[in-house]
């Protein structure tokens, strides 16, 4: 299938490794010019090196901060495709979570996406094409104990997208959320026995591959996916039992 996005420009956040990188890699393979955003310059340079041959630029910035988002937008002021992503908040018993913990989680996993959508959506509308994909989590559908910062901040974004995607729909701009279950990124592998326990529950009996997640992202960003908006797509090997 021709995804029809060759020559488009993508701003991909949290892209020095893991799921963000896989999304950037899948888009670059379709001929999309990608701007990778992350906080660490050397990790970004290494990620860009892995995409050698593609049209790649990098932007050093923390998307949870206004300055980081400004750096991202300076490097890619008019993206046709926006992939929102940042590291997940720490786990912990809900009794110990402070207002500062909540503010940090909301900054990284809610406001970062909201602000980047706000900054880029009108340009997409003016050009008559736009694709926004937010990396959220399985926890939106299937809350996991002690991941309340993640679940709640991502559900805030889910609600925002439910409304805004419909407002952007008439202009040919789609907004969707991609929900990873257990995809074998370095972060997941570092969880060791905890990750093994999660993977043991997956009906497909294995962890997902980052490139499988990237492929789903590239499809949602494609021209043929024009009629898909406001959706929450699980990439979880069947782990979440309820999908309605």
Asked whether position 186 contacts ligand NAD by CB under 6 A, the answer is yes
- 160 vs 39: CA distance, rounded Å: 25
Please give the residues from 48 up to 87 whose contact with ligand NAD meets the rule CB under 6 A: 62-64, 68, 85-87
Q: How many residues bind ligand NAD (CB under 6 A)?
A: 31
Nearer to ligand NAD (CB atom), residue 4 or residue 87 = 87
- 17 vs 80: CA distance, rounded Å: 22
Nearer to ligand NAD (CB atom), residue 82 or residue 168 = 82
Joined together, the tokens standing for residue 53 give 């041959």
Where is 242: in which H helix or E strand? none
Which one of 26-34, 96-104, 182-190, 217-225 is the stretch in contact with ligand NAD (CB under 6 A)?
A: 182-190
Nearer to ligand NAD (CB atom), residue 5 or residue 235 = 235
84 bridge partner residues:
134
The HSE-up count of residue 63 (CA atoms within 13 Å, CB side) is 33
Asked whether position 23 contacts ligand NAD by CB under 6 A, the answer is no
Cβ contact 85:135 at 8 Å: yes
Joined together, the tokens standing for residue 31 give 């001929």
Interface with ligand NAD (CB under 6 A): 13-20, 37-40, 62-64, 68, 85-88, 108, 135, 137-138, 180, 182-183, 185-188
């Amino acid at each position: 299938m021709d995804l029809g996005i060759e020559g488009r420009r993508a701003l991909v956040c949290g892209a020095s490794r893991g799921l963000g990188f896989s999304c950037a890699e899948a888009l670059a393979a379709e001929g999309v010019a990608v701007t990778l955003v992350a906080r660490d310059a050397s990790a970004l340079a290494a990620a860009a090196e892995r995409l050698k041959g593609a049209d790649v630029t990098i932007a050093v910035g923390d998307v949870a901060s206004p300055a980081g988002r400004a750096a991202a937008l300076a490097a890619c002021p008019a993206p046709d495709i926006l992939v929102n992503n940042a590291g997940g908040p720490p786990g912990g018993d809900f009794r110990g979570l402070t207002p500062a913990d909540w503010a940090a989680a909301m900054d990284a996993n809610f406001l970062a996406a909201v602000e980047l959508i706000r900054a880029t959506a009108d340009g997409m509308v003016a050009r008559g094409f736009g694709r926004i994909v937010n990396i959220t989590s399985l926890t939106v559908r299937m809350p996991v104990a002690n991941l309340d910062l993640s679940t709640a901040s991502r559900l805030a974004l889910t609600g925002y997208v439910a409304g805004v995607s419909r407002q952007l729909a008439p202009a040919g701009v789609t907004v969707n959320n991609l929900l990873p279950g257990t995809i074998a990124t370095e972060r997941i592998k570092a969880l060791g026995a905890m990750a093994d326990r999660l993977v043991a529950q997956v009906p497909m009996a294995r962890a997902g591959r980052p490139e499988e997640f990237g492929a789903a992202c590239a499809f949602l960003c494609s021209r043929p996916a024009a009629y898909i908006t406001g959706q929450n797509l699980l990439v979880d090997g069947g782990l979440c039992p309820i999908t309605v």
